[in-house]
Amino acid sequence: MPDSAPASPPSATYPSHSSTMVKAVVLGAAGGIGQPLSLLLKTNPLITQLGLFDIVNTPGVAADLSHIATPSVVVGRLPPNDGLKEVLTGADLVVIPAGVPRKPGMTRDDLFKINAGIVKDLATGIATVAPKAFVLVISNPVNSTVPIVAEVFKKHGVYDPKRIFGVTTLDVVRASTFVAEVLGKPAEAPNVVVPVIGGHSGVTIVPLLSQSTHALPSDISADAYAALVKRIQFGGDEVVKAKDGAGSATLSMAYAGYEFSTKIIRALKGEKGIIAPSYVSLKADPAGGSALAAELGTELEFFSSNVELGTEGVVKIHSLGKLTAQEQELVKAAIPELQTNIKTGVTFVAEKY
């Protein structure tokens, strides 16, 4: 074949779907998160089909990834000719990093105007074509975009709260890294596990440092503790500032999104006892959800907590456990913003659908 021959064509078709196969789909696959996340998914031997959708560049991204010698067949599609429908058909897992990222000076809520419509349209596609898929929402503001997906699914009569997840893993990844730094043990970072609960923006991000696998120094000062909490809550701003107008976290997010996707796939394959933090509907586990609401002292439709995963999605929502007085204050501060964010998402679908 001459050197100038075209790379393997992006017109590859999928083998027919069966239960031994796992089809993962990325919506927004050509973006800053979408490309490295798609690369990581391509390396997963459990995935047999990888569907990539974006409004630009997916044929090229798919052709590039398709040369990697791993089991999955990769297909990239654009909107024309039912590209979204084709990519979503037979999906087991759909990850959504589609939408605009922040620039310095913006909050995640400032992205709502654009991203709400994008997520609503993509959720409509999933509800229509792959209503049983596990949906993993990365697009910000996650506190509001997850309720949007839920409301769209309700409108289509296919809502299963066990299958819709807001991806908050990056907060947990950051907490591990920053705690290891405070301990002066960066090599320990992969082993540090800190539950991070609440939501995914500013004060709604609540690290439970008292439940860290690696205790903080007993003599940590109040200022150092406050600085650590703040860094975990506003870690996203650190990246937005450093990128200086070129977007927000993409590589660490791809890592975190892949980590969460892997747990979902292992659960889908029947592995038991997999626990991951995620922003889910408290109705996903009515008993666990009620217990959590009682701990919070209020009804909230969505909250991020450790959840146990199974073949059908959420199996159990874990309780918060014993909180320190400082952590109770952080939870108290998170609740009003979460309530507002959730309402914003629900109202958007009620008014625009």
Report the partner that residue 28 touches, choosing among ligand LMR, ligand NAD, none (CB closer than 5 to 8 A by kind): ligand NAD
Please, which of residues 46-65 interact with ligand NAD by CB under 6 A? 53-56
DSSP, collapsed to helix, strand or coil, labels residue 41 as: helix
The helix (H) or strand (E) run that includes residue 287 is helix 286-296
Q: Report the residue number, 125 or 313, with the smaller CB distance to ligand NAD.
A: 125
Among ligand LMR, ligand NAD, none, partner that 127 touches (CB below 5 to 8 angstroms by kind)? none
Which residue is associated with the tokens 């073949």? 311
Closest distance of CB 342 from ligand NAD, Å: 16
Using the minimum distance from each CB to ligand NAD, give the nearer residue, 21 or 97.
Answer: 97
248 binds ligand LMR (CB under 6 A): yes
- DSSP one-letter string for 113-136: HHHHHHHHHHHHHHHHH-TTSEEE
Point out which span in 16-24, 41-49, 216-224, 236-244 binds ligand LMR (CB under 6 A): 236-244
Q: Which of 26, 52, 95, 111 binds ligand NAD (CB under 6 A)?
A: 111
Q: Which of 23, 42, 77, 102 binds ligand LMR (CB under 6 A)?
A: 102
Degrees, nearest 5: CA angle 78-81-86: 70
CA-CA distance, 33 to 250, in Å (whole number)? 4
Rounded Cα distance, 187 and 182, in Å: 12
List 10, 28, 147, 345, residue binding ligand NAD (CB under 6 A): 28
Place of tokens 């929402």: 137
Touching ligand NAD, residues 192-231 (CB under 6 A): 200
Task: Closer to ligand NAD by CB, 102 or 162: give it.
Answer: 102
The strand ranges marked E within the chain are 23-27, 49-53, 73-77, 93-96, 134-137, 164-166, 196-198, 205-207, 274-281, 302-310, 313-317
For the chain, give percent helix, strand, coil, nearest 5. Answer: 50, 15, 35
Q: Which of 10, 14, 25, 31 binds ligand NAD (CB under 6 A)?
A: 31
Q: Report whether 353 contacts 155 (CB < 8 A).
A: yes
Q: Among residues 94, 96, 239, 268, which is the contact residue for ligand LMR, using CB under 6 A?
A: 239
Kindly tell me which residue out of 23, 42, 77, 108 binds ligand LMR, with binding defined by CB under 6 A: 108
Cβ proximity to ligand LMR: between 108 and 231 the closer is: 108
200 is catalytic: yes
| From the list ligand NAD, ligand LMR, none, partner contacted by residue 30 (C-beta under 5 to 8 A by kind) | ligand NAD
Residues making up the chain, counted from first to last:
353
Site for ligand LMR in 141-180 (CB under 6 A): 170
The footprint of ligand NAD on this chain (CB under 6 A) covers a number of residues equal to: 34
C-alpha distances (whole Å) from 203 to each of 198, 199, 223, 276 are: 9, 8, 17, 21
Number of residues in contact with ligand LMR under rule CB under 6 A: 10
156: Cβ contacts below 8 Å, ≥ 6 apart: 124, 127, 128, 131
Tell me which residue of 189, 193, 203 sits closest to 232, measured CA to CA. 203
Which residues belong to the active site?
Answer: 200
Residues at the contact surface with ligand NAD, assessed by CB under 6 A: 27-28, 30-34, 53-56, 97-102, 111, 115, 118, 121-122, 138-140, 142, 167, 170, 200, 247-250, 253
Residues at the contact surface with ligand LMR, assessed by CB under 6 A: 101-102, 108, 140, 170, 236, 239-240, 248-249
